Chains A and B, each alone.
Chain A
Amino acid sequence: MTDPIAWLILLPLFWATAAFLLGPGRGARLAIAALLAQCGLALQLAADVIDGGARTHAVGGWGAPLGIDLAVGGLSALMLVLTQAIALPLAVYARAYFADGAPAVRYFWTLTGFLLAGLNALFLAADLFNLYVTLELVGLAAVGLVAAGGSARQVAAALRYLFAALVGSVMYLLGVALIYGAHGTVSLQTLAPLVDARAPAAVWIACGLMLAGLMLKTAIFPFHYWLPPAHGGAPAPVSALLSALVVKASFYLILRLSLEVFAPLAATAATALGLLGAAAIAWGSWQALRTVHIKMLVAWSTVAQLGYLFLVFPLLAPDGLALQAGVMQAIAHGLAKAAMFAAVGVLMLATGRDTLEGLAGVAGRMPLTLFAFGLAGVTLMGLPPSGGFLAKWLLIEAALTHGQWGWVAVVIAGGLLAAAYVFRVLRQAFLLAPADSPFHPVPRSMEWTAFVLATASMLLGLQGVELMSLLAAGS
Chain B
Amino acid sequence: MSGGMIFAGAGAVLFTMGLVGVVLIGPLLRRILAFNVMGSGAFLVLVGLAQRDGGADPVPQAMVLTGIVVAVASTALALALARRLHRLTGRTTLSATDDD
Asked whether A158 and B35 contact (CB < 8 A) given A166-B74, A177-B45, the answer is no
Contact B81 A158 (CB under 8 A): yes
For A155, the chain B residues whose CB sits under 8 A away are 81, 84-85, 88
> Is A167 interfacial (CB-CB < 8 Å)?
yes
Q: How far is the CA of A163 from the CA of B31 in the complex (A)?
A: 9
For B89, the chain A residues whose CB sits under 8 A away are 152, 156
Other-chain contact of A167, B28, B38, B66 (Cβ < 8 Å): B38
Contact A174 B50 (CB under 8 A): no
Those of A146-182 within 8 Å (CB) of chain B: 147, 151-153, 155-160, 162-163, 166-167, 170, 173-174, 176-178, 180-181
**Whole-angstrom distance from the CB of B73 to the nearest CB of chain A?**
7
For B67, the chain A residues whose CB sits under 8 A away are 132, 173
For B85, the chain A residues whose CB sits under 8 A away are 152, 155-156, 159
Number of interface residues of A (CB under 8 A): 38
For B60, the chain A residues whose CB sits under 8 A away are 177, 180
Q: How far is the CA of A153 from the CA of B46 in the complex (A)?
A: 37
Other-chain contact of B100, A132, A140, A296 (Cβ < 8 Å): A296
Those of B32-69 within 8 Å (CB) of chain A: 35, 38-39, 41-43, 45-46, 49-50, 52, 59-60, 63, 66-67
A-B contact pairs, 29 of them (CB 8 A): A136-B70, A140-B73, A140-B74, A140-B77, A143-B77, A152-B88, A155-B88, A156-B94, A159-B81, A159-B94, A160-B98, A162-B77, A163-B78, A166-B35, A170-B38, A170-B42, A173-B39, A173-B42, A177-B42, A178-B49, A180-B50, A180-B59, A181-B45, A181-B49, A225-B99, A229-B99, A291-B100, A293-B100, A296-B100
A residues near B (Cβ < 8 Å) are 129, 132-133, 136, 139-140, 143-144, 147, 151-153, 155-160, 162-163, 166-167, 170, 173-174, 176-178, 180-181, 184, 225, 228-229, 232, 291, 293, 296
